[in-house]
């Protein structure tokens, strides 16, 4: 009887042991699964961080931009190469001892990477260039963080000057540049006054020489003598600006809260791209800031556009000053009436006066632009102290016999005027044209560099497999379990 009771106890304990071991095995297996899941999540997040750490070093060093070059020195995007890098990094985290004999111990979690796939990716050129703008603005916030308040105040001052300049041009512009065409074309009697004075000698009147000079444009007049105008033009056809969506362009006016960010972007353009006064000698286009503003393929065309607008501004402002200064206006009026009387048409005294004022303002404007292109400053509104030419100095304007003129420590530089121009450029075009210039320069280092291959954001999934270990006693099914980890990263 005693032995029978002991046998019953043994069977009972054996059955209980099986149940306990099965329970413990289930708990351990569940712990392994969740441990493998979090290990896979950590491995995946670390892997995407490692991939994004492979940003283009030259792009960072030269332009402060953190971007993953998905081309891998090839001309086109290589998504498969990115997936292979992700697999390599994930495997190195999940099975760190793989292939290492001295560290080849057991893996309690025993999870394996089954598949990595990229589901979504956004290039830096997508979304009308807003991703590029965000990258630039983030960098500029870091760069100017120490004195961003002072910087924004300076920018607001530039904006105010720009608005005031535009108002002055609207008021004075017709009294400046357009006075010549009206003088030469609208009145046949006036036209006859500027015909050759000496038909036998073939010498032309000074006004005819002036008219012909202006017909050729201002470029040759205002460029400093020691400088040569660049003839370079864009050579690469796969430019980011070719992706501009004309029907859906971003405008700074659509969201006033973005004004400060656009100011930071403009400062980036002025800091990392060159203009005529910087004397850049190599690379793609030499006048990069002018390209961002005007978008022409040739350096000379962009510079010409900048000079024409600067001349319009300076002629209007200088003409306005001449009209407001009674002494200078009186001189012009006296000479105008004398010339009208000498040619037998005193009733044209007023027309001749305004012609001389326009000519005088233009001559002064040429000296201003020459000074600006030399890297110096010119006061926005002139005064007696900063005015360069007397009436006799107009001849130097016609002959191009320039001298050094008054240099001012106050006022605006050529870059300051370009800063104002940037405020009135469509934001989408500005973003893409900036990318054009950076790509042109980067192609000097890596001919296959394309912004269209640069990844801004990446999303995907990694699938893992866990093989059960604690499945003995037939209480747990012997089958592999899969779990998926989603990942995403944005610069």
Per-residue pLDDT tens digits for 264-284: 899 999 999 999 998 888 778
Residue 212: exposed, middle, or buried by beta-carbon count in 10 A (0-12, 13-18, 19+)? exposed
Number of structural domains, the chain? 2
Q: Is residue 141 included in any domain, yes or no?
A: no
- Domain-terminating residue out of 421, 442, 463: 442
Out of 70-79, 271-280, 321-330, 457-466, which region has the weakest mean confidence (pLDDT)?
Answer: 70-79
Same domain, 123 and 158: no
Confidence class for position 470, pLDDT limits 50, 70, 90: low
Domain of residue 302 covers 147-230+257-442
Long-range contacts of 30-33 (CB under 8 A, 24+ apart): 32/108, 32/109, 32/110, 32/466, 32/469, 32/470, 33/466, 33/481, 33/483
Confidence class for position 174, pLDDT limits 50, 70, 90: very low
Query: What pLDDT does residue 173 have?
Result: 43
Residues 6+ apart with CB under 8 A from 7: none
Same domain, 176 and 226: yes
Give the pLDDT confidence of 51-74 residue by residue, as tens digits: 999 899 999 999 999 999 987 777
Average pLDDT for the chain: 78
Kindly state the average pLDDT of the residues 36-64.
91
Q: Is residue 249 included in any domain, yes or no?
A: no
Q: Is residue 24 included in any domain, yes or no?
A: yes
Same domain, 410 and 477: no
Confidence class for position 50, pLDDT limits 50, 70, 90: very high
Give the pLDDT confidence of 96-134 residue by residue, as tens digits: 665 554 444 456 667 888 899 999 999 999 988 899 999
User: How large is the angle between the packed helices 414-422 and 299-324, nearest 10 degrees?
Assistant: 100
Query: Cβ(423)–Cβ(382) under 8 Å?
Result: no
- Is residue 423's pLDDT more than 80? yes
Q: Is residue 133 included in any domain, yes or no?
A: no
Q: Is residue 314 included in any domain, yes or no?
A: yes
Higher pLDDT, residue 302 or 407: 302
Confidence class for position 432, pLDDT limits 50, 70, 90: very high
- Is residue 1's pLDDT more than 50? no
Here the tokens at position 389 are 């030419």
Kindly state the average pLDDT of the residues 248-253.
50
Query: What pLDDT does residue 155 have?
Result: 56
Confidence class for position 137, pLDDT limits 50, 70, 90: very high
Residues 6+ apart with CB under 8 A from 379: 386, 408, 410, 411, 412
Same domain, 352 and 454: no
Kindly state the average pLDDT of the residues 77-88.
89
**CA quadruple 69, 75, 78, 82: dihedral sign:** negative
**How many angstroms separate the CA atoms of 90 and 259, rounded?**
42
Query: What pLDDT does residue 422 have?
Result: 93
Here the tokens at position 333 are 């009026």
- Is residue 21's pLDDT more than 90? no
Same domain, 219 and 343: yes
Residues 6+ apart with CB under 8 A from 450: 71, 75, 238, 439
Q: What percent of the chain has pLDDT over 70?
A: 73
**How many angstroms separate the CA atoms of 454 and 483, rounded?**
30
Higher pLDDT, residue 341 or 276: 276
Query: Cβ(130)–Cβ(261) under 8 Å?
Result: no
Same domain, 164 and 76: no
Confidence class for position 154, pLDDT limits 50, 70, 90: low
Same domain, 336 and 191: yes
Confidence class for position 153, pLDDT limits 50, 70, 90: low
Here the tokens at position 219 are 């470029």
Same domain, 201 and 301: yes
Out of 77-91, 210-224, 360-374, 455-469, which region has the weakest mean confidence (pLDDT)?
Answer: 210-224
Kindly state the average pLDDT of the residues 458-478.
74
Q: Is residue 251 included in any domain, yes or no?
A: no
Same domain, 198 and 64: no
- Is residue 357's pLDDT more than 70? yes
Q: Is residue 170 included in any domain, yes or no?
A: yes
Count of beta carbons in the 10 Å neighbourhood of residue 246: 7
Q: Is residue 136 included in any domain, yes or no?
A: no
Query: What pLDDT does residue 419 have?
Result: 93
Q: What percent of the chain has pLDDT over 90?
A: 32
Kindly state the average pLDDT of the residues 242-265.
66
Higher pLDDT, residue 48 or 400: 48
Q: Residue 56's closest CA among 77, 71, 44, 46?
A: 71
Residues 6+ apart with CB under 8 A from 268: 136, 137, 139, 140, 434
Same domain, 94 and 159: no
Same domain, 163 and 81: no
Higher pLDDT, residue 156 or 485: 485
Same domain, 187 and 273: yes
């Amino acid at each position: 009887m005693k032995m029978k009771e002991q046998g019953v106890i043994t069977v009972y304990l054996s059955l209980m042991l099986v149940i306990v071991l099965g329970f413990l095995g289930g708990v351990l297996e569940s712990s392994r699964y969740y441990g493998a899941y979090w290990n896979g999540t950590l491995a995946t997040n670390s892997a995407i961080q490692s991939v994004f750490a492979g940003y283009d070093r030259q792009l960072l060093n030269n332009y402060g931009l953190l971007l993953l070059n998905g081309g891998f020195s090839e001309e086109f995007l290589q998504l498969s190469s990115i997936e292979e890098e992700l697999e390599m990094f994930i495997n190195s985290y999940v099975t760190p001892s793989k292939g290492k004999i001295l560290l080849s111990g057991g893996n309690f979690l025993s999870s394996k990477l089954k598949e990595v796939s990229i589901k979504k990716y956004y290039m830096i050129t997508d979304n009308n260039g807003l991703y590029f703008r965000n990258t630039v603005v983030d960098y500029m916030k870091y760069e100017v963080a120490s004195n961003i308040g002072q910087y924004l105040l300076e920018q607001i001052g530039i904006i105010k000057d720009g608005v005031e300049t535009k108002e002055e041009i609207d008021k004075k512009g017709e009294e400046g540049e357009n006075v010549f065409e009206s003088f030469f074309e609208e009145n046949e009697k006036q036209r006859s006054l500027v015909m050759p004075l000496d038909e036998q000698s073939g010498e032309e009147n000074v006004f005819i020489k002036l008219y012909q000079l202006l017909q050729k444009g201002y470029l040759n007049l205002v460029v400093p003598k020691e400088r040569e105008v660049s003839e370079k033009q864009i050579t690469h056809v796969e430019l980011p600006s070719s992706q501009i969506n004309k029907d859906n362009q971003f405008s700074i006016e659509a969201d006033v809260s973005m004004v400060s960010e656009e100011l930071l972007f403009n400062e980036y353009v002025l800091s990392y791209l060159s203009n005529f006064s910087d004397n850049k000698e190599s690379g793609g286009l030499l006048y990069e800031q002018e390209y961002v503003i005007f978008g022409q393929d040739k350096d000379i065309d962009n510079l010409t556009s900048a000079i024409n607008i600067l001349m319009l501004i300076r002629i209007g402002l200088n003409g306005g000053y001449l009209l407001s200064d009674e002494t200078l206006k009186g001189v012009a009026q006296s000479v105008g009436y004398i010339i009208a009387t000498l040619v037998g048409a005193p009733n044209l005294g007023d027309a001749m006066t305004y012609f001389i004022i326009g000519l005088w303002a233009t001559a002064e404007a040429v000296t201003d632009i020459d000074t600006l292109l030399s890297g110096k400053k010119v006061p926005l509104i002139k005064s007696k102290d900063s005015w360069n030419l007397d009436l006799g100095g107009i001849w130097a304007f016609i002959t191009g016999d320039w001298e050094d003129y008054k240099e001012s420590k106050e006022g605006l530089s050529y870059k300051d005027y370009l800063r104002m121009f940037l405020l009135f450029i469509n934001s989408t075009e500005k973003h893409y044209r900036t990318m054009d210039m950076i790509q042109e320069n980067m192609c000097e280092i890596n001919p296959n560099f394309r912004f269209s291959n640069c990844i801004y954001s990446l999303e995907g999934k990694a699938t893992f497999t866990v093989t059960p270990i604690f499945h003995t006693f037939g209480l747990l099914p012997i089958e592999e379990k899969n779990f998926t980890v989603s990942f995403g990263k944005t610069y």
